[in-house]
Structure 1
Amino acid sequence: MRSIQIQESFGLQQLKFNDCSEKPIHDDEIEVSMHAASLNYRDLLMVKGLYDPKQPLPLVPCSDGAGVVTATGKDVCDVAVGDFVTTVFAPYWQSGTPTTTQMRGTMGGPIHGALTQRFVAKSSHVMKAPKHLNAVEASTLPCAAVTAWNALVEVAKIKAGDKVLIQGTGGVALFALQFSKICGAETVVLSSSDEKLQKVKEMGASHTINYRTTPKWSRAVRDCVGQVDIVIELGGAKTLEQSLKVCRPGATIAVIGILSGIKNEINLLPIIMNKINMSGILVGSRSCFESMNKAIAHHKLQPVIDKTFAFSETIQAFEYMESAAHFGKICIDLQK
């Protein structure tokens, strides 16, 4: 069995195959035969040394994966051999507000991640997956899906009839669209690609706006739906000003992405005068993940997959993510 590691230094070309350790598991550990992994933008930044330049190497990257439990230690009672599971992004964050220590223990850095055919860890590092999904589909859930669910359900308390602005068509955005739809919300999706906007229309988006051809998109949002209740803020510093312009008093802005940068001059007055709730979202707890999986199973929700690469094509998968040409999740079949 093999894994992929970032070895002597950062960079896509530093991703090298390595034989997995065959050492026995401890009494409180499990062994998982990993079948698939999926990529997040964080994984790309980690590999390139832009997420945490001080991250010790070697490191097995990628937070998200799925597989089947093949062995359990004698003290493990919450999972069994044969269980279909996914990884958990922040395995020490059980519920509520995390501590600093809990948030520092995350998969794919500093904890070895999912780009491995043999995964050994404590049982808290995995979660039983919805049974209607295959391994590739389930591998998309731990980061992007939990982030969207946490933002909409746990933080913004979405309800039927709410108006939700979603920026982009990446993994978090598409899960946010799917979750908004099953909650009965009206959605506005922004993208620079008419082709991608057509695809989100087919997924059930209520309204779409091309922000490249409509740079003052906040006006277009207000023309579509008036003021919004929730903003899935994925653009970052340069989109936040327009996001504030479309919010009703008491609206929630879930700050998730930084694609347009991390610094910009912001007028704080609208936040104060309109009592805007701004919340930073970094994935979610195990309890959040469990709740989300129940909803996914109940609605038989299907993650949107753009392309699945073979394990031997891992570098190409990261290069494809870097191109930003994808619509939906980029996955890796660890058995090919």
Structure 2
Amino acid sequence: MSLPTTLRQYFYPQLGSFNNLVLKSVSVNPPKSHEVLVKTRAVSLQFRDLMIASGTYGGELRPNLVPCSDMAGEIIAVGDEVKDWKKGDRVCANFFPDKLHAGMTGAIAETALGGPIDGVLTEYRNFPAHSLVAIPDHLSYEEASTLPCAALTAYNALLCGSDPLKAGDTVLVLGTGGVSIFALQFAIASGATVIATSSSDQKLKVATKLGAKHVINYKTTPEWSKEVLKATNGLGVDHIIEVGGNSTVQQSMPALKVGGSINFVGGLGGAAPPVDTVSWSVRRALKSRGIRVGSVAQFESMIKLLIANPETTRPIIDKVFAFDEAKAAFGYFQSQAHVGKVVIKL
């Protein structure tokens, strides 16, 4: 079968809004000797994509950027030097293509898809062979597209640090977005107890169905750290997935047990008066980590967990949009009406 000669992809002629997305046709480049050409089957959205669209993400972005970082697809051609992949293989690309192991450098950070380099909201794309991970047989392309950022971030936070999650631990997840839902699922699969927060009782019902033992509506219970302490007999939780940033850390810090671990993932809640994290950390001997997604090696380890617990860890997809509906997908994602992930299918 001959390779396609053209493809369609979205790009930003200027930032400011996802409504600035433009769909264009460009030529398909054959893979270089160390690359594979992948037909994109699905792309999932994350909060970073909205920040980049609005121009609030910061850092150097590629001009006329092709957005998005999380994809799943099918290999349709391989370079001459590629030995580990073949046509027809189902793969995901790692968020940082050159982050093979746990260490992070400035050079690796510059390989982030959909930011410093073009992303994956495109019908076809070449990737370095070393950046790819095989999709488990039991997952669809849509499900697999949710893994590179949301799932791997949660996995790295809970299971790859100096204080990895163990059976019997208690985990607090904030909200019901992609990272938090995966953290809930991975914690349950690991034998931990989960406490979940949300502003929606309906979303909390989903968290309960997925295995959360305690749920708290932070709109009706603004001092929710007190409820966390009640649920843990005054001890606090072992691990927190902190996605809110300054707007939530003033509650999450008091909810940690002495010697507990807090994993900082993002700042979804926006700006707010910061808590004195230094004093809290020293007084209570807390351990904190800043999580920047994960490595190819961690991705491969996470896949083993998914295969061993296929139903407990199955990705939760709220809604799937067609490729031509990309702007609508961004709009729905921005509304925060979703639980889990929003996916664009190609």
TM-score normalised to structure 1 length: 0.96
* Partner of residue 252, structure 1: 261
Letter in 1 for 2:123: Q
1:182 to 185, 189, 214: 189
2:273 to 252, 264, 268: 264
Query: Counterparts of 1:190-269 in structure 2 under 5 Å?
Result: 190-226=197-233, 227-262=236-271, 264-267=273-276, 268-269=278-279
Deviation at 1:115, TM superposition (A): 0.7
* Partner of residue 117, structure 2: 111
State the distance in 2 between where 1:236 and 1:19 align.
39
* Partner of residue 167, structure 2: 160
Letter in 1 for 2:305: A
**Correspondence 1:143 to 2:159:** no
Contact 1:9 1:57 in 2 (8 A): no
Q: What's the secondary structure of 2:160's corresponding residue? A: helix
What are the ranges of 5 or more consecutive residues in structure 2 without an aligned counterpart? Answer: 1-6
Letter in 2 for 1:258: G
Deviation at 1:22, TM superposition (A): 2.1
1:9 to 1:229, Cα distance in 2 relative to 1, 3 A: closer
1:306 to 309, 318, 328: 318
* Partner of residue 341, structure 2: 329
* Partner of residue 290, structure 1: 300
Letter in 1 for 2:342: I
Deviation at 1:97, TM superposition (A): 2.0
Deviation at 1:60, TM superposition (A): 1.0
TM-score normalised to structure 2 length: 0.93
Contact 1:87 1:114 in 2 (8 A): no
State the distance in 1 between where 2:97 and 2:81 align.
18
1:258 to 1:264, Cα distance in 2 relative to 1, 3 A: same
What are the ranges of 5 or more consecutive residues in structure 1 without an aligned counterpart? Answer: none
Q: Deviations over 1:173-204 (max 9, x none)?
A: 00000000000001100001000001111111
Deviation at 1:44, TM superposition (A): 1.3
Letter in 2 for 1:110: P
Runs ≥4 residues deviating over 6 A: none
* Partner of residue 65, structure 1: 71
Q: What's the secondary structure of 2:267's corresponding residue? A: coil
Contact 1:20 1:118 in 2 (8 A): no
1:277 to 287, 293, 306: 287
Contact 2:97 2:112 in 1 (8 A): yes
Greater shift after overlay, 271-280 or 168-177? 271-280
State the aligned residue count: 334
State the distance in 2 between where 1:83 and 1:93 align.
21
Q: What's the secondary structure of 1:113's corresponding residue? A: coil
Query: Counterparts of 1:18-167 in structure 2 under 5 Å?
Result: 18-52=24-58, 54-155=60-161, 156-167=163-174
Letter in 2 for 1:303: P
